[in-house]
Amino acid sequence: MPLYGTALLAVCHLLGILFGELLGRALGVQANVGGVGIAMLLLIAARFYGHQRGWLEAKSEEGVNYWAALYIPVVIAMAMQQNVLKALSGGPMALAAAITTVAACACCVSFINRREVVAPAETSAK
Amino acid sequence: MESLLQKLAVENGLVLSFAVVGLVVLFSGYISRKLTVGRVQGSAIAILIGLALAYVGGRMTGGNKGLADVTYFSGLALMGGNMLRDFAIVATAFEVQPSEAKRAGWIGALALLIGTFLPFIIGVSIAYAFGYRDAVSLTTIGAGTVTYIVGPVTGTAIGASSEVITLAIAVGVFKAILVMVTTPMLAKFMHLSTPRSAMVFGGLAGTVSGVSAGLAATDRKLVPYGALVATFHTGLGCLLCPSLLYFAVRALFPAHV
């Protein structure tokens, strides 16, 4: 039943957020530390063991896949409620800081990823 | 009649949002195929339209939730809010190949660290260039450059003024929007094509909203990998900015220069 999948997703989500909160408190941080990431790891593990032990049916997986498919529409709804006005109100300083950061990070990503793709081919080239 | 429609819209807010977003996606797909011959992804156009609508909504209401502040579209706050966004992100974990994620784990962690330090340093430098000299303001603006949640959390923790906190949020929100918009354009330059590259991107670009929307507009398959790393970003920033990084800034800029 698809509901089992959605319920499994919900349990992983809640546990992940809970662990993230606890981790934040343990570190003395006023924020959730990686709750969603922990939830994702839990779900990955649940899927792995579910397949191995055979208690996760394809029908149940539909209950997760549907929500994964809703991801893009949800992100679009998220875009619709961004505080765009506020972002533009920050003036030249906000603009300069954001643009410089994004540009620098993009270069950094490009630098790291370039090495990844090139690495295996490089051995034969050199 | 109008009150009837308004009642219908408010009482069925979430359902109406599904219909509204569906229409936007349909329209974006049409533009993508007809006007850009499929060159610009439909979801990238949909996100741009969403941001434009958010601007209009903000202008109309003066609120801070974009289109969701317009009574008719209040359901968007639920559909695009943190709860459903995180729920959908977690669901995408089903598509993760554990071997891929494990292989790139360490580089993802490294990207996270660079993704915290680099924006912070840039934020502090630019704040300095714009005349800020006290460690608290510099740190808060630097933290805002990491993500728009780290900014106010840090600012509150170290006692920044509300104007500086507002500015830090503005920097963070602007960065998130910039990541959403520019990721598909920069995808080739950033070699964004493998699970590992998405994890590097997730660590460096930060903000869950920016990364999730940016990857959605680029390649849906990469979303879970980027999100897996990016979700640690805010936590790490909130850990480092008010502590280690604040002390570093305070050492560099002692009070009352």
Q: What is the mean pLDDT of each run of 10 residues along chain B (257 residues)?
A: 86 94 94 83 87 92 90 92 91 86 86 94 95 93 91 88 88 90 91 92 88 90 90 85 90 75
pLDDT of residue A83: 86
Whether B118 sits inside 8 A of A85 (CB atoms) is no
Q: What is the mean pLDDT of each run of 10 residues along chain A (126 residues)?
A: 92 94 84 84 91 87 92 90 82 91 94 70 39
pLDDT of residue A117: 52
List alpha helices for chain B, DSSP H: 2-11, 13-34, 42-61, 76-79, 82-92, 98-103, 105-129, 135-146, 150-158, 162-186, 195-205, 208-216, 223-230, 233-240, 246-252
**SS3 letters for B88-142?**
HHHHHHHHCCHHHHHHCHHHHHHHHHHHHHHHHHHHHHHHHHCCCCCHHHHHHHH
Nearest to B50 among A79, A105, A109 (CB): A79
What are the backbone angles phi and psi of residue B65, rounded to the nearest 5°?
-120, 30
pLDDT of residue A37: 85
CB pairs under 8 A between A and B: 315
Q: For residue B1, what is the DSSP state?
A: -
pLDDT of residue A124: 38
pLDDT of residue B91: 92
Contact (Cβ atoms closer than 8 angstroms) between residue B41 and residue B184? yes
pTM of the entire predicted model: 0.83
Q: Taking CA atoms, what residue in B is nearest to A48? A: B98
pLDDT of residue B256: 56
DSSP 3-state of B65? coil
pLDDT of residue A122: 40
- In this prediction the ipTM stands at 0.85
